[in-house]
Structure 1
Amino acid sequence: MQVRNGQLQMLKDLQETAKSEVDKVMLTDAPLLFPPGQLALAALRRSNEVLRVLDFERYLNSIFSRQQTAHSISELIQSLNAIDNLVSKLKIPTAKDMRHIDRKLKSCLDPSSQDDKKREKKSKHKSKSSEHHGIPS
């Protein structure tokens, strides 16, 4: 029973890391280029490379042996490698980058707020230059 619990825990860990890998995959162009099943297999394979829970080649062979498909296992592996390549090129933005992106998104969502801020800055600048030159505002 304890062996079963150990295996169950390893599979749960594999599932959790695979979910994390799916999140990474979704931040790439892969969802636009590959079907969901291949994305899931790529995430599972990446997760398994760390944890070594499954014999992944054997797993793929067992899937292919049960299905009649026009595609070969080598084509699938080629697709999985391409997905891995996209994920490995992924660069997670820093907090500073995220703030900058967030500001841009907010201005896109509500351009009128940007116009108000610009007007406010101009009026502040005018009043400061007026005071500086001794001109009452």
Structure 2
Amino acid sequence: LNLPLWLLSWNTLTGDTRDTNGRFFRGALLMDNLLGVADQVWLAGFWLNSGLQGEARANGKLDTSSLALHYLHGLPRPVYWVLWLWRRLRGEILVHDKNLLLLHHQGHYQLLLRNTVVYNPWLSSEAAFIQRFSQP
């Protein structure tokens, strides 16, 4: 049996609080995930915004751990910008490795460089930054 796989609701690389999900920009991690599943997944779905997602849930609460394209007031979330870039990538893959994607299309080349690093998002908060660099 060979059927297309549709990812309609997924929560890859999201946090469980507004700080870890909203302030921590994880675009490179999301792009790596999309590039990793591109051959196996035919379609990926996302919530349009956090408000619609809350309306669809039985308890009406916002779930900060899933991927939505926008926040409540139309502000784009990280996955929006990843898909914006993804849509512009086209052509034959010449090189695809951990940090590099090189494409060729009609005499033009596209090069996507990425340096994906996984770290604790709490370390990127202003309080953590100030604490690390303040003198005792």
TM-score normalized with structure 2 length? 0.25
Q: Choose 1 or 2 for highest CA Rg.
A: 1
Name the TM-score, length of structure 1 as normaliser.
Answer: 0.24
Q: Which protein is richer in helix relative to its size?
A: 1
